[in-house]
A and B are shown apart, each in its own frame.
Chain A
Amino acid sequence: MSAAVAPIGIYEGLKTRVNPRQTGGASLSTTDSSIQGSIDATDVEKRLRSIEEKMEHLKPGGKDTWDKLEKLSSACWAVVTLLISVFVTGRIETALKERQLHLENVKDMQQLMQQLDKADAQSAMSYGLALGAHGRYAVEPMIQVLQSGIVDHREAAIAGLRAAAAIDEDFVCKQLTGVIQNRTRLYQMEVPESAAKLLGDLDCKDAARPLRDYVERLGRATPETAPFTQVPGSQGITQANIDDVKKQAQDSLTAVTQQ
């Protein structure tokens, strides 16, 4: 309340001081000068009021949103930095742990692989299953066992891949799909044949299209253009080989597409 009264007091004082200057010291009659003086005073009063209003606006007011945000930003930045560092560290740690796990798996599997290499059909089966228990890490070694073409180890490799799929089915399906999609004749005939069979056995739904494409490709293939190489120790790829793989792929396609 006093703040509202004070400017009027000042205004009164100013009025008496400002008046002569406003008139420019002109000679005005007492009556005129009193009227003139009152007009000038009102004008000046208005102007002063407006100045005061403007000054009032210029006075530093309360803190606005931006001020608050500015102060918060430093705190926010610290939190964001912390979160990012936690996230990145977590990712790095996970990657390192995964790599460590991979190495440990490889070490574990190395001995089993060496034993499998020398094993007869019966022992090979148990080594294959033990390897398959390593999940995704066993997939490539098992595919290589198939590729090596030792007759007594084929069942073991297939059993190993089935065991691996029990742990990491999506990964096994993806890798086996990669085998039938290969166009560089990387694998001998028994590898895609086994892969095609397993894709059906494991019910790899995503493999339906690759299987369909593979059946079509085999339908056009001849022994010279087959997408795989001959079985080791054989005299070459025969049309019967192509038909066998195609039949396997067709059976699996039927299995994965049926409702």
Chain B
Amino acid sequence: MSLFRYLPRLRFLGCAVLICFVKAGGQEPQLCTQINLVTGYKIVLDDIKFSSGSASEQDKQLMNLLNFQLRSRLESFDDEATVRYHLIRCNGRLPEGEASFPPLTMTGLVNRDVVLEIWGEIFGPAQGTQRVFLNYVMMPLSSGSVSPFLQRTYTPKAGSSPDEIVEWLANLNELSAYARIARAVRLLALKGPTGYDSAKADFETASSDLHRAFAPNPTASQKELLTFVSKRKCEVLQDARTNSEYKGPLRLLPDTILKRECTGGNL
């Protein structure tokens, strides 16, 4: 008699367990094989968890929207096809910080010209504002003196609706600045002096955007990154004047400008 009384509860529990299994089995793979199919400088967009949780239908739609807007913006940056960014959306991928990037993985991504990987989480809205946590990895910087990993927290002044947050993310200059730094470093490693013009332009734009983004009080790691950018740009300018392999306009750069660029005047 008592067994019959508990039957509906047992049935409910059974259903719940079944749903859990289906959900676990139905998770999308975290692989990103598209990296191997696209040639050029790649930006990998992993999941950004909105407040409703990564698996929900609304989050998927928001990620699709962000993917579309960000791709349009990034791909419009450069006229030259060889240096153009390609945005790769990695559905379901959410790295666990630096541990997810062992040296072999990092080298593999650098060799595939992945310049930047982004993932994050959005909290709120609380008191009308949302907090956005974003993680950046600038792959080509892994062999340099500066850490390729960056974590940033933002409180966007934009409205609190998800659509507005997506638009704010898509137009985030800081994101494109990191992409530019990483691309310049990779370009120099791949092409040497023939990439000086493009690298110099990237360093300059990135430096300017990051100065604005980090103002008024940059942290120690942010200062380190700014110094790195400034130093690499200076190296490019100095070498361009003497390197016989380089034939571009930087050969004729006046001493005064070079001196200004290389004495931290731009910092």
Within 8 A of B (CB), among A77-131: 118-121
B31→A150 contact, CB < 8 A: yes
Q: Would you call A235 an interface residue if the criterion is a C-beta within 8 Å of the partner chain's C-beta atoms?
A: yes
Within 8 A of B (CB), among A142-191: 149-152, 154-155, 158, 189-190
Q: Would you call B144 an interface residue if the criterion is a C-beta within 8 Å of the partner chain's C-beta atoms?
A: no
Q: Would you call B33 an interface residue if the criterion is a C-beta within 8 Å of the partner chain's C-beta atoms?
A: yes
Q: Would you call B64 an interface residue if the criterion is a C-beta within 8 Å of the partner chain's C-beta atoms?
A: no
Q: Would you call B13 an interface residue if the criterion is a C-beta within 8 Å of the partner chain's C-beta atoms?
A: no
Specify which chain B residues have a CB less than 8 angstroms from the CB of A154 in the assembled complex: 104-105, 108
Q: How far is the CB of B18 from chain A (nearest CB, A)?
A: 22
Q: How far is the CB of A103 from chain B (nearest CB, A)?
A: 29
Specify which chain A residues have a CB less than 8 angstroms from the CB of B113 in the assembled complex: 233-235
Specify which chain A residues have a CB less than 8 angstroms from the CB of B66 in the assembled complex: none
What 1/0 mask marks residues of chain A from 210 to 241 whose CB sits below 8 Å from any chain B CB?
A: 00000000000000000000011111001011
In the bound complex, CA of A196 to CA of B109 (Å): 20
A241→B111 contact, CB < 8 A: yes
Specify which chain A residues have a CB less than 8 angstroms from the CB of B93 in the assembled complex: 120
Within 8 A of A (CB), among B13-39: 29-33, 35-39
A233→B37 contact, CB < 8 A: yes
Q: How far is the CB of A16 from chain B (nearest CB, A)?
A: 120
Q: Which of chain B's residues has its CB closest to A155's CB? A: B104
Given A233-B38, A234-B112, the answer on whether A155 and B105 have CB atoms closer than 8 Å is yes
A233→B112 contact, CB < 8 A: yes
Q: How far is the CB of A117 from chain B (nearest CB, A)?
A: 8
Within 8 A of A (CB), among B91-114: 93, 100, 102, 104-105, 107-109, 111-113
Partner of B36, one of A233, A240, A241: A233
Specify which chain A residues have a CB less than 8 angstroms from the CB of B105 in the assembled complex: 121, 151-152, 154-155
Specify which chain B residues have a CB less than 8 angstroms from the CB of A231 in the assembled complex: 108, 111-112
In the bound complex, CA of A235 to CA of B41 (Å): 9
Q: Would you call B148 an interface residue if the criterion is a C-beta within 8 Å of the partner chain's C-beta atoms?
A: no
Q: Would you call B172 an interface residue if the criterion is a C-beta within 8 Å of the partner chain's C-beta atoms?
A: no
A120→B112 contact, CB < 8 A: no
Q: Would you call B162 an interface residue if the criterion is a C-beta within 8 Å of the partner chain's C-beta atoms?
A: no
Q: How far is the CB of B35 from chain A (nearest CB, A)?
A: 5
What 1/0 mask marks residues of chain B from 106 to 124 whose CB sits below 8 Å from any chain A CB?
A: 0111011100000000000
Q: Would you call B258 an interface residue if the criterion is a C-beta within 8 Å of the partner chain's C-beta atoms?
A: no
Give the interface of B toward A (CB within 8 A): 29-33, 35-40, 42, 93, 100, 102, 104-105, 107-109, 111-113, 189-190
